[in-house]
Amino acid sequence: MQVHRRFASVSAALVSVLVGALLLTPMAAADDGSTPTPEPVPTTAPTDPAAPTPEPAPTPPPATEPATPVVVASSLPLRVGAHGWRVRHVQERLAWLGYEIYPTNVAGEVMGKSTAAAVKAFQSKFGSRPTGVVGVGTWELLDLLANPVGRLPAACLGQTTICIDKTTRLVRFVVKDRVVLTLDARFGFEGAATREGTFRVNSKSRDHISSLYQTSMPFAMFFSGGQAVHYSPYFARDGYNGASHGCVNLRDYDRAGWLFDHVAIGTRVHVYR
């Protein structure tokens, strides 16, 4: 009887130990009887909801754009390739004096081939060596002859006028106060000067021959006695090395013909210096 009680006591102790072991094991038996998969061990510490959220790292500022280089205007003397406001200044005065300059030269304020060619023509016309380079002398002469740019005498405004400037040696055809044609002109020599004042075209002769000198005077438009505006083959040949007997000579044949065709009898002629 005592043996039986001792065995029962030992069995109860063993059961107690086994139950405790099962409670301490991290794996619980699966419902389906399979071997359970151990839960993953976290690799990072749990987030404390009370902890402050760290501020994001500051974003570096964008790279600064390189500054646009300042283009410095060319200084005198101005040669081919020069640019800037001084070139524009020259181009405006040359254009007012009747010289043609390519729009690309004007838009870029650059001294290209057409600007240099106009400078040469201007220098040659007024007795300077035609270099095509704008030095102080050419700069000052342009300012003297072309200022103020775009302004005409009152006697050339208000109606269609052949406006003749003896100082700049130009004929301008003015329609509705706008210059529509500009031509180089040559005048009478000393003792046979071209008369100054305001006149009217009183007659025209397309293929005129001078009765006094037996010289050709195509596209003649008479405004004062025997004095007329007309094309001169001698002016075209000799330039400003010669002079007329009082007439206003033109040296561009095609443009002289265009002017003749667009001038009516009675058109005003104003000659000044």
Task: Say which CATH topology domain 154-272 has.
Answer: L,D-transpeptidase catalytic domain-like (2.40.440)
Query: Could you give the CA distance from residue 16 to residue 19 in angstroms, rounded to a whole number?
Result: 5
For residue 72, what pLDDT is reported?
Answer: 87
How would residue 26 be classed by pLDDT, with cut points 50, 70 and 90? very low
CA distance linking residue 210 with residue 244, whole number of Å: 12
User: Model's pTM, two decimal places?
Assistant: 0.74
Q: What is the pLDDT of residue 230?
A: 98
Exposed/middle/buried for 216, CB within 10 Å: 0-12, 13-18, 19+? Answer: middle
pLDDT, residue 48, reads 54
CATH 2.40.440.10 domain extents, the chain = 154-272
Count Cβ neighbours within 10 Å for each residue of 95-116 and write b for 16 or more, e otherwise.
Answer: bbbbbebeeebbeebbbbebbb
State pLDDT tens for residues 109-138. Answer: 999 999 999 999 999 999 999 999 999 999
Look at residue 15 in the predicted model and tell me its pLDDT.
40
